[in-house]
A and B are shown apart, each in its own frame.
Chain A
Amino acid sequence: MTVARFWRKIPQRYNLIGTKCETCHRHFFPPRTFCPDCRREGKIVDHKFAGKGTVVTFTIIQTAPDQFASHGPYVLAIIKLDEGPQMTSQVVCDPGEAKIGMRVKSTFRRIATDGESGIIHYGTKFMPE
């Protein structure tokens, strides 16, 4: 991912800044700038998520893409945030420990590395609460 493309989403990726619609009070993470329910009646504002949620489903990635290969097997999950929306993230735990329904909290971690001399991407992962 190029520098500008990564940089413009740093608040969202580092600090779980999503959005919410002030018309219907629905929360969005990943952020949306257009409410699919209220459409043009919607009023979208930024919203900082508390970073707590529950594992909906997960997998253990054994065959990883190059930029994630140094991590070894990792737990990838869909997490339902307490505010409502679901997001995809990694869970930092022993793969054998991962369970559906597990409570997790967000943590700031290294996500991926673009080769030996490329950019290191940081962002939000989750860990058991």
Chain B
Amino acid sequence: MRDVAVIGVGCTTFGEKWSESFRDLFIEAGALALEDAHLSGEKIDAMYVGNMSAGRFIEQEHNGALIADYAGMATRHIPSTRVEAACASGGLAFRQAVIAVASGMEDIVVAAGVEKMTDVEPGATTDALAGAADREWEGFVGATFPGLYAMIARDYMHKYSMTREQLAQVAVKNHYNGARNPIAQYQQEITIDTVLRSTMVADPLRLFDCSPITDGAAAVILAPMSRAREFTDTPIKVLATAQASDSIALHDRRDISTLDATVAASQRAFKMAKLTHKDINMVEVHDCFSIAEICAIEDLGFCKKGTAGKFTADGETALGGRIPVNTSGGLKACGHPVGATGIKQVCEIVQQLRGTAGKRQIDGAKIGMTHNVGGTGATVAVHILGRV
């Protein structure tokens, strides 16, 4: 297997982008990534695109070909593949691209993610998202995504001593980071009161515990390490790629408030990279809901089960804390265009490792991790990236 490097990254701003279409978004992200890699489109050998539900959001399938076409690659007939795993689509697209380069099959590969979520009315958007859970036996009886994560939160708070205020601190911290990220959907700081006074969505989760509906795209360019310095002075090495699956329905899990797929994927990633959680300088985790970040930092091994509420309230996951979590603002503040999120996480870690993360920069960052979840934990992708 060859070593693989990220040689370019690009990300649109995230938000409700009424004036921009699905096509506008991925072209912008792709162009930014190519520019960043000092590369022209003719050098690209293959593309993998993470997208959850363009079929529902813009009534368009066959997006691998569409994107190749509008990115000007169709005349060269390069292979372009759409990858779908609900909210983990981006993480899996990245992993497929890494595997393609590592195998020696392809050299210069684009991994991208795109989601245009605001071209249908909000009810249709949330219904499409509910397809990430078990439609027949969860959605049919009235389960919503906030509802499923609320059941995780209640199980967690029943078993461990986390306060509602500690849970709210996840959103407060992520908004603080988002306020320092020029691409973030929400660049305003909030307080614990903002969270506790927001509308109840699914008890105990309130509006400010939930990530928003977002339009956006992100792209990264991969090359074999042996060629990376042809394009950049700061290649970032992919130290590990790992993926795990679990039951599609939350009710079939071994433990409601542990994402076993996160545990499995992180163990595989640490083994592949020959590292432990102590070696990681910062991590982008999948905080689709505040409780998801609490479970993630425990299941990835950064603190013991049942202690992440206090760990967060003590500032250990803040900028300058023991393990900064979601320096980008996470899904909560940076936004969550579902298929793009896994790629945006890689973009953020690459910026941190290059030392170009501006006001969010972690001093001396050498190794970073990404954690991307599909549904309530039926798919998890974990990657570790390092400076060379």
Contact = CB atoms under 8 A, between A and B. Distances in A.
Given A74-B142, A78-B251, A58 B154 contact: yes
Given A60-B202, A62-B201, A88-B251, A123 B147 contact: no
B61 to A, nearest CB: 19
Contacts, number: 95
Nearest to B207: A63
B256 interface: yes
Interface in A52-77: 56-66, 68, 71, 74, 76-77
Contacts of A65: 123, 126-127, 130, 142, 144
A86 B147 CA distance: 16
Contacts of B202: 59-63, 76
Given A9-B136, A123-B140, A61 B252 contact: no
A30 B136 contact: yes
B135 to A, nearest CB: 8
B248 to A, nearest CB: 10
Interface residues of A, number: 34
Nearest to A62: B200
Contacts of B353: none
B147 A61 contact: yes
Interface of B: 123, 126-127, 130, 134, 136-138, 140-144, 146-147, 150-152, 154-155, 158, 199-205, 249-252, 256
A100 B158 contact: yes
Contacts of A77: 151
B253 to A, nearest CB: 8
Given A59-B150, A59-B202, A88-B251, A64 B155 contact: no
Nearest to B154: A57
A127 interface: no
A90 B202 CA distance: 13
Contacts of A125: 141
A9 B127 CA distance: 21
A15 interface: no
B141 A88 contact: yes
Most buried by A among B143, B146, B249: B143
A54 to B, nearest CB: 13
